[in-house]
Structure 1
């Protein structure tokens, strides 16, 4: 499970960085979204990967903290998902406004002569 998660984080990070270096603004926005997904997976993995762990403490059963998953990274990831969604929506609006004003979607605002 850890290998699959590490590969997913690595692929998302590599793809996000590659897209960030592209000349078009939409590709940059998608790259930032992929990087945010990679960071969310990384934060989630810091809360200990457990399968079949109980989500709540049962009454009358002795509490063993090692048997539970840490809920703080899950709450942080949930907050980060909401923030990244709002940021992506804002960037798309800025992209559309920039495209309307400059008639190009290049990051530097100029078409390359090839």
Structure 2
């Protein structure tokens, strides 16, 4: 049961990062992206290429988590959850405090579940 909960948590984190990829790569300067990141149209237009690059990295995080799930590779899941956690802490401390709750906290919970599931 614990392993299933851990897998669900990892899947949720992966889906979240696919969503972030879409926001950053395709919707950054559209209404959904502007609202999600609280930016002006001018700022979003000026940073669109940077955001797309950032979105690609979020896609790599999602891909690693999904690969870990598909292959039942605990080490892959742990590695990519730690990457998400570190990115979430860094983002929360340097960009927006809400990132701690949106990205870092869920990653920490999933990491704890994967560790506990053995």
Q: Shared fold (TM-score greater than 0.5)?
A: no
TM-score range, shorter chain: 0.3 to 0.5
Q: Which has the higher contact order (CA 8 A, sep 6+)?
A: 2
Relative to the length of structure 2, the TM-score reads: 0.37
